[in-house]
Amino acid sequence: MIETMSKAEMQRYQGIRGVPHDFTDYWQQLILSLQLPELKIREKDFHVKQVRCFDLYFDGTNGSQVYAKMLLPNTNQKIPVIFHFHGYQGRSSDWSEYFKFVACGYGVVALDVRGQAGKSQDKGQFEGLTVKGQIVRGMVAGREQLFYRDIFLDVYTLIEQVRKLPEIDDENMQTFGASQGGALAVVGAALHPHIKQVVTIYPFLADFPRVLELGQITEPYDELFRYFKFQDPFYQTKEQIFTALDYIDIKNFAHMIKGKVKLLTGLRDDICPPSTQYAFFNRIQTNKVHILLPEYGHEALNVGANDLCFNWLVNTEIEEV
């Protein structure tokens, strides 16, 4: 379904539900309780002398193994880092796709989200509907069993462990991604105070009640509709479900972000409705820029938008188009 709010309405909109009173404390306590695992690093010979490539592994929650790529310029200087996160159901990009950042002196660390198409392995066990999709995994049992809770902790753990490496400039770290990757970029910036800037493109996982209100049944939100259609057609658990999902709703992380935020939104997005993205953006309390593409939806933005994001990431003082 195409967005029903006007631009003026969206510019005032902050989402259907408020932020839980204990939201910030909840995530801070989770981080404090983490026993950070050893980061296992294996260098790869990619046969390009200007770039050093590494496989990274660590043990995540639930005994899952988490994988990421790391690419560093071959230099003796401290290296600024861009953390890249991929879209829903996907995996990190090919190594060579990140060389453009390395050519500009930046390292890249790219996570494979557990249980999706990359090398990270999910070993968690969940109650309730798991036939389709990862938003719904664990939501019936409550916030402690949410699948994305573990993914968000993976994001924090990766950033924290990479920043401790001696070659990394931990005062110059950024997050970047689109869709699910855009959501994880937001969460990384919210949970880790060293993130200087987040560049997020049409982020996923925002304002779940609005998605339901719009009847958004395209991938990947279809899993929410399947839950209510087949397990709760009378919506008797609606409050219970949204109370759990509040803790992975990215609009509720907005106030925790300390660094700059750049957001790109296609106003014809029928996957992550523009109003849900505004609900996140309008809650940001730091320096922020919102670029709109009126004729674009949830699709490749090969119209200069990728160049804009690239320049934002390698020239962090650029603010506008």
Residues taking part in catalysis: 179, 269, 298
Q: In degrees, to the nearest 5, what angle opens at C-alpha 272 toward C-alphas 311 and 254?
A: 65
Which of 225-229's residues contact partners 24+ apart within 8 Å by CB, and which partners? 226/129, 226/131, 226/132, 226/133, 226/136, 227/129, 227/136, 227/139
Region of 142 on the Ramachandran plot (φ > 0 left; ψ -120 to 50 alpha; else beta): left
- Tokens of residue 105, six digits: 């002196």
Q: Which of 64, 44, 37 is nearest to 137 (CA)?
A: 64
Instruction: Check: CB of residue 51 under 8 Å from CB of residue 71.
Output: yes
Q: Measured between alpha carbons, how far is 237 from 243 in angstroms, rounded to an integer?
A: 10
Q: Measured between alpha carbons, how far is 105 from 79 in angstroms, rounded to an integer?
A: 7
**How do strand 107-112 and strand 168-178 relate by DSSP bridges?**
unpaired
Q: Measured between alpha carbons, how far is 162 from 203 in angstroms, rounded to an integer?
A: 24
**How do strand 195-201 and strand 168-178 relate by DSSP bridges?**
parallel
Q: Which residue in this structure is represented by tokens 């002398």? A: 49
**Letter for the amino acid at 254?**
A
Task: Flag whether 148 is marked binding.
Answer: no
Residue ranges for the known binding site for substrate are 88
Residue ranges for the known binding site are 88
